[in-house]
């Protein structure tokens, strides 16, 4: 297991993931518990929308890029497609969030990943993320 510090550009409470469980050249598996933190910075009115699972996935993608390239890559979220939310909110989920991202395409100017987020054996969210390198 690898800590996320130094793998994503986020710091402090905006680093949403807890650790990398496994990764290969093509995919990454991370876990998070930050959805339960009362001071989670994305909360609004005490709740955390399931839409924020896209940010969890984007951080997993960033960590994967850093692990396979040897350092944090400068990039930005270029597009999010086909997102399906299977819950309304995640602040009430007590199980670890399991974030899995699989790289579908890699080019010099960006990458494309499919992602899924589960908790307690239940699919919470799935979709596709495009990253543009800057």
Question: What does the pLDDT look like over 14-70, one tens digit per residue?
Answer: 679 989 999 999 999 999 999 999 888 899 998 999 999 999 999 999 999 989 987
Model pLDDT, residue 133: 87
Rounded Cα gap, residues 61 and 63, in angstroms: 5
6 Rama sector, left if φ>0, alpha if ψ -120 to 50, beta otherwise:
left
CATH number of the domain enclosing 85: 3.10.129.10
Count of CA atoms in the C-beta half-sphere (13 A) of 104:
10
Tell me how far apart the terminal alpha carbons of the chain are, to the nearest angstrom.
Answer: 29
**3-state class (DSSP) for residue 34:** helix
How many structural domains is the chain composed of?
A: 1
Please check the confidence at residue 13 and state whether its pLDDT lies above 90: no
pLDDT tens across 102-121, in order? 999 999 899 999 999 999 99
pLDDT category at 1 given cuts 50, 70, 90 is: very low
Kindly tell me if the per-residue pLDDT of 83 is higher than 90: yes
In terms of residue numbers, what domain contains 98? 2-133
pTM value is: 0.92
């Amino acid at each position: 297991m690898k800590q996320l510090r130094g793998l994503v550009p986020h710091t402090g409470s905006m680093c949403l993931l807890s650790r990398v469980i496994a990764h290969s050249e093509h995919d990454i598996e991370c876990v998070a518990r930050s959805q339960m933190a009362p001071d989670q910075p994305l909360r609004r009115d005490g709740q955390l929308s399931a839409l924020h699972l896209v940010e969890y996935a984007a951080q997993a993608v960033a960590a994967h890029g850093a692990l396979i390239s040897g350092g944090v890559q400068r990039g930005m979220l270029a597009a999010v497609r086909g997102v399906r939310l299977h819950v309304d909110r995640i602040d009430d989920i007590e199980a670890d969030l399991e974030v899995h991202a699989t790289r579908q395409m890699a080019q010099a100017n960006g990458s494309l990943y499919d992602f899924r987020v589960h908790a307690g054996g239940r699919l919470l969210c799935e979709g596709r993320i495009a990253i543009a390198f800057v």
